[in-house]
């Protein structure tokens, strides 16, 4: 999931470099959502791992 977030951020950078503002904005939005999903799943996995370990 983190890989796809980074890919979308790179797409956004390239699109912004070439002047495609709309595509860059949507790619950044998708990248943010993917990163937030990754962060939530990572924290949940960490917490469940701590609970299961006890």
What pTM was computed for the model?
Answer: 0.82
What digits encode the pLDDT tens for the residues 13-34? 999 999 999 999 999 999 999 9
| Nearest-angstrom CA–CA distance, 31 and 45 | 21
- Express each pLDDT in 34-53 by its tens digit: 999 999 999 999 999 999 88
Return d(Cα 49, Cα 44) in angstroms, integer. Answer: 8
Per-residue model confidence (pLDDT) at position 24: 95
Secondary-structure percent of the chain, ordered helix, strand, coil, rounded to 5? 90, 0, 10
């Amino acid at each position: 999931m983190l890989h796809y977030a980074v890919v979308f951020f790179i797409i956004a950078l390239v699109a912004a470099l070439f002047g495609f503002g709309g595509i860059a904005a949507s790619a950044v939005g998708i990248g943010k959502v993917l990163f937030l999903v990754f962060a939530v799943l990572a924290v949940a996995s960490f917490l469940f791992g701590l609970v299961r370990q006890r």
